[in-house]
Structure 1
Amino acid sequence: MADQDFKNKLQFKDPTEPEELILDNKKIMAISNVTNADKNDFTPLTDLINLRSLSMNRTHLYSLEGFPTLPKLRRLALSDNKLTGGLEALADAKLEKLIHLDLSGNKINDLSALEPLCNLPNLKHLSLFECPVTQKANYRDALLEMIPQLYSLDQHDR
């Protein structure tokens, strides 16, 4: 987690500057590992208030607890992690501008785990490719009913 490449990716003189951050393939495991930091070590996600796009694919994430409020975040990529639920952390973070969410390749097995996403008012595009939940009967119809603001699910329009 504390490797130098990771620290370099999260070092900003002006934390209001970055609009995009790609942390793919870094061993993060829990959001708290990128939100609680000594500012001399690296810039915590909580300080990146102008972030519009955040990619944390293949980061071994198993928990989103404590996801920071990122008021301008529009795109969040969390594919190929170990998430089974805990998505209420995204709703609690008040990600009101979030439009695109990629949860593909996670271990989400139950529709109820996705219910907190209905509290993301601008969520239009959701990807759940290769999540076990996609094998459930009537998965697509049930999810579109649960999250009425969705425009596309798994890259297929309503």
Structure 2
Amino acid sequence: MEMKKRINMELRNRVTELVLDNCLCVNGEIEGLNDTFKELEFLSMANVELSSLAQLPSLNKLRKLELSDNIISGGLEVLAEKCPNLTYLNLSGNKIKDLSTVEALQNLKNLKSLDLFNCEITNLEDYRESIFELLQQITYLDGFDQEDNEAPDSEEEDDEDGDEDDGDEEEDEAGPPEGYEEEEEDDDEEEDEDEAGSELGEGEEEVGLSYLMKEEIQDEEDDDDYVEEGEEEEEE
């Protein structure tokens, strides 16, 4: 076996995600995908003009399958045989018209989320109620559960939990002790009051001193006038 072929085989065995969106297939069949991709956990084949799933290889580890915007109208029983552990399936934008077509998904026991956006089946009366009754293993249909609660993103939930835990720890470690800010503000207010009081006192002292100095000057001027008047009377 050539080295290049051997390396390619090893790489294929380790691939867990494969996106083939917009890669048009011939005659509506899956091409080039075989059992060497047995480690796949996520496979996306959106908008590839796919009409048949007959050539889908066995992918026992596959959890999420994206098949949106194709021309699939049936043959969904292949999924339970080839991908028995699917938890998420997106068939939005295909040619699925009736409940009998979807009934084949009952054998996907681990299926939790199913998307059928823009399929003709969504125009049926009591569409959501019928699907939830038919596929009792699913929790979310078109992104919402039976109570119209939106499906959470598992990755976002993990990130949010991690961020919340980190935030609490950082706040506990780096945050100031309780009452610290209040005490500091009280001290600042007292200092401001003391400064204002001292400035007021200094101003009052200056006013008092200037007033006393004016009085002394006035007294001296009055004494000088009195002496001058006495001297004039003596001379007369």
Q: TM-score range by the shorter chain?
A: 0.7 to 0.9
Using the size of structure 1 for normalisation, the TM-score is 0.82
Secondary structure of the equivalent of 2:14?
coil
Match of 1:20 among 17, 38, 46: 17
**1:67 positional shift:** 2.0
Q: What letter is aligned with 2:8?
A: F
Query: What is the CA–CA distance in structure 2 between the aligned matches of 1:71 and 1:13, rounded to whole Å?
Result: 18
Say whether the 8 Å CA contact 1:66–1:89 is kept in structure 2.
Answer: no
Match of residue 106, structure 1, among 94, 112, 116: 94
Secondary structure of the structure 2 residue equivalent to 1:116: helix
> Residues 27 and 60 of structure 1 are in contact (CA less than 8 Å); yes or no, is this contact kept in structure 2?
yes
Q: Which has the higher strand share?
A: 1
Distance (Å, rounded) in 2 between the aligned partners of 1:82 and 1:156: 24
Pair 1:71 & 2:67 matched:
no
Q: Shift in Å at residue 139 of structure 1? A: 1.2
Quote the Cα distance in structure 2 between the aligned partners of 1:112 and 1:12. Answer: 41
Q: Is the 8 A contact 1:98 1:120 kept in 2?
A: yes
- 2:50 is aligned with 1:61: yes
The one of 98, 105, 117 equivalent to 1:129 is 117
Moved over 3 A (4+): none
Alignment correspondent of 1:7: none
TM-score in terms of structure 2 length: 0.56
2:93 maps to 1:118? no
In the alignment, which residue of structure 1 is the partner of 2:202?
none
Identity, % of aligned pairs?
43
Structure 1 vs Structure 2 CA RMSD: 1.4
Number of aligned positions between the proteins: 137
1:30 equivalenced with 2:29 (yes/no) = yes
8 Å Cα contact 1:128-1:154 kept in structure 2: yes
Largest Rg, 1 or 2: 2
Find the counterpart in structure 2 of residue 87 from structure 1.
76
Conserved? CA contact 2:9–2:36, under 8 Å: no
Q: Which structure has more helix as a fraction of its residues?
A: 2
Equivalent residue for 1:8? none
